[in-house]
Amino acid sequence: MSPVSTILTKTDVKRIAALAHLELSESETERFTRQLDEILTYFDRLKQIDTTGVAPTTHPVTSVPVMRADDPHLSMPRDKAMANAPDSDSTGLFRVPKVIG
Amino acid sequence: MRVSSIQTVTDIRAAIQAGVTAVEICQQFLDRIASHDGPIHSFTHVSADRALKHAAAVDRRGPHYPTLPLAGVPIAVKDNICTDGIPTTASSRILDGFVPPYDATVVERLTHAGAIVLGKTNCDEFAMGSTTEHSVSGPTKNPWNLDRVPGGSSGGSAAAVAARLAPLALGSDTGGSIRQPAAFCGVVGLKPTYGRVSRYGLLAFASSLDQIGPLALTVSDAAILLQVIAGRDPNDATSANVAVPKFEAALGDPLASPTIGVPWRILEDGVDPSVSSAFSAAIDVLETAGATIVDVSLPHTEYAVPVYYLVAPAEASSNLARYDGVRYAYRAPNSGADTTLGHLYNRTRHDGFGDEVKRRIMLGTYALSAGYYDAYYLKAQQIRTLIKADYDVAFKRVDAVAMPTTPTPAFKLGARTDDPLQLYVGDVFTASANLTGLPALSLPCGRNGSDLPVGLQLVGRAFDEGTLLQLGLGYEQQAPWWLDAPPAAAITRT
């Protein structure tokens, strides 16, 4: 018997997918709900650890912020930078569908 | 030396001294790829013409070129590292047809050092995976057994080196992606200290964990490659302003009496018996060679997998937001009535990303979303601090920590594709080095009863790759497993 979903529902997965701009089919939603729920259930063991007062580590090697001299320099030519765009025009614009439906 | 028997950088240096040209060496490796890579599929793109042109340019440098550290040395580059003019897709459909307009800093440094890029190697999509099965071009096979995975995500790089199709390769390691395939394929793999090597031009997966590093047949070849790619880069603000030692020279001057810590407690459960016995034998070799072995405690390491799989996907969900069908490569065709920009994003990302990438984007989005941040992301970052503190305590007593690279040898293709959690748990010994930023070396330490390689991992102090390389060389001299080539290799032992 498969475990009962305790953390994540299909509604949650649909909400997350919308936040991440991912379209999911119904069968994908079902599969990801099962897999992500299993993963998050496994992660529950982190609750066993008391982290009161422990500072979070966001970066493995602590160092001072790096500054560089603010000198002007040539950047990559625009047409080269845009060469990989699926749809752009010669004036340096990306062409996209209308934003508001 | 015959060109057909060349395997290592040392071999290539000797051949060039003896008058062999860079073009002849390059052609030799291109021939091997043509004749032997079919069943392995380690390369996704071979840039033969360009490689031969660069080799000819190295030859034209005349009497000066042997002074370059990698003069005429062919190298394979993982497909998530940008190469100017050579397609770079991170094995993803969403980057189909992407040709970078610039070289990653590591590639630029390779070129200046005289190295010849042979082509791009297969990987799990955006380096997310540990089997190289999550690739739009299909899986890479393990040269030791073509029914087995090569590991991942740098599986193409590890398989190419193991099969003698390239003497060196670059990989990237976010949770074990250099070391785990190195272990599965029986080669040397090094994840440098976070910040040791520039990430400029590496397609970002998890920016606080990613590092580029070498894969090679021998420890000294890995040291030579690390030397070339290491050091501060103005284009990567997180690259460290720390002096780079002379790694190769230091290899000749090993530590007199090193102390190595083994976290025996965390090796008690879940480790395949063949891995345990190869690891224990390797520890005996190190002890016989003069190391003092002590027991160390890393109590929070068992939480490295859940911590890693919260931190890395959270960073990935942000980094992969840029793939939207507007600026790079793939854009989904219009379909249905909804022709808005939002729909274009959703369709492009649905069609362009594979399942594992989608899973991780969603996991990270969830961990960062309102109401869940404290319970998941912040908690993981706090335990990351505790994992780091365990290592800080250990390194007061020891020069390196040793453990197996992986709990099992290479498993069968397809065996774990439907069970992501089971795959994640396999990162238990590798992920903590990324979370802490510490350098870690994997080297072959034997083979199991089915002739599959087992990896020994050494984790060191921050920016102390030198000690790991010295210890690794000391072991390799006692136990030169690399001399045995796998059955699918282009050349076997000569």
Model pLDDT for residues B340-362, shown as the tens digit of each residue: 899 999 999 999 999 999 999 99
Average pLDDT (A73-93) is: 91
Q: Which DSSP helix (H) or strand (E) runs through B472?
A: helix B465-478
pTM above 0.90, yes or no: yes
Give the per-residue pLDDT at A1: 39
Ranges of H-type helices in chain A: 10-19, 26-43, 78-81
Is it the case that residue A5 has pLDDT exceeding 70? no
d(CA B104, CA B81) in angstroms, rounded, equals: 6
What's the Rg (C-alpha) of chain B? Answer: 21
Backbone φ, ψ for residue B469 (5° rounding): -65, -40
d(CA B202, CA B136) in angstroms, rounded, equals: 19
Report residue B396 CA to chain centroid gap.
28
- Say which of A8, A65, A76 has its CB closest to residue B101: A76
Question: Helix or strand or coil: residue B126?
Answer: helix
Q: Indicate the angle between helix axes A10-19 and B355-368, nearest 10 degrees.
A: 90
Give the per-residue pLDDT at B144: 98
Q: Which residues pair with B419 in a beta bridge?
A: none
Chain A residue with the nearest C-alpha to that of B338: A101
**Residues of B catalogued as catalytic:** 78, 153, 177
CATH topology of domain B3-262+396-483: Amidase signature (AS) enzymes (3.90.1300)
**Which residues contact residue B376 at a Cβ distance below 8 angstroms, ignoring those fewer than 6 apart?**
A43, B310, B366, B367
**Residues of chain B with C-beta less than 8 angstroms from the C-beta of A60:** 194, 208-209, 388, 434-438
**Which residues contact residue B40 at a Cβ distance below 8 angstroms, ignoring those fewer than 6 apart?**
B140, B141, B143, B146, B159, B160, B163, B165, B488
d(CA B361, CA B319) in angstroms, rounded, equals: 9
Question: Helix or strand or coil: residue B261?
Answer: strand
CATH topology of domain A1-47: Histone, subunit A (1.10.20)
Question: What one-letter code names the amino acid at B240?
Answer: A
CB of B257 closer than 8 Å to CB of B292: yes
Give the per-residue pLDDT at B398: 98
Average pLDDT (B460-476) is: 97
- Please report, rounded to a whole number, the percentage of residues in chain B having pLDDT higher than 90: 90
The pLDDT tens digits of the residues spanning B193-216 come to 999 999 999 999 999 999 999 999
Give the per-residue pLDDT at B65: 67
**Residues of chain B with C-beta less than 8 angstroms from the C-beta of A45:** 303, 306
The pLDDT tens digits of the residues spanning B41-54 come to 999 999 999 999 99
The pLDDT tens digits of the residues spanning B141-185 come to 999 999 999 999 999 999 999 999 999 999 999 999 999 999 999
The pLDDT tens digits of the residues spanning B358-368 come to 999 999 999 99
Give the per-residue pLDDT at B66: 66
Per-domain boundaries in chain B: 3-262+396-483
Give the per-residue pLDDT at B63: 62
Is it the case that residue A84 has pLDDT exceeding 70? yes
**Residues of chain B with C-beta less than 8 angstroms from the C-beta of A49:** 300, 303, 383, 386
Per-domain boundaries in chain A: 1-47
- Say which of A16, A21, A54 has its CB closest to residue B382: A54
Average pLDDT (B2-23) is: 94
Give the per-residue pLDDT at A2: 47
- Tell me the pLDDT of chain B averaged across its residues: 95
Average pLDDT (B464-476) is: 97
Shortest Cα–Cα distance, B348 to chain A (Å): 8
Ranges of H-type helices in B265-395: 273-288, 304-319, 341-352, 355-368, 379-394
Average pLDDT (B218-239) is: 96
Interface test with A, best of B382, B384, B423 (most A CBs within 10 A): B382
**Residues of chain A with C-beta less than 8 angstroms from the C-beta of B306:** 42-43, 45-46
Give the per-residue pLDDT at B186: 98
CB of B329 closer than 8 Å to CB of A3: no
- Whether residue A12 and residue B388 make contact (CB cut-off 8 A), yes or no, is no
ipTM of the predicted assembly exceeds 0.85: yes
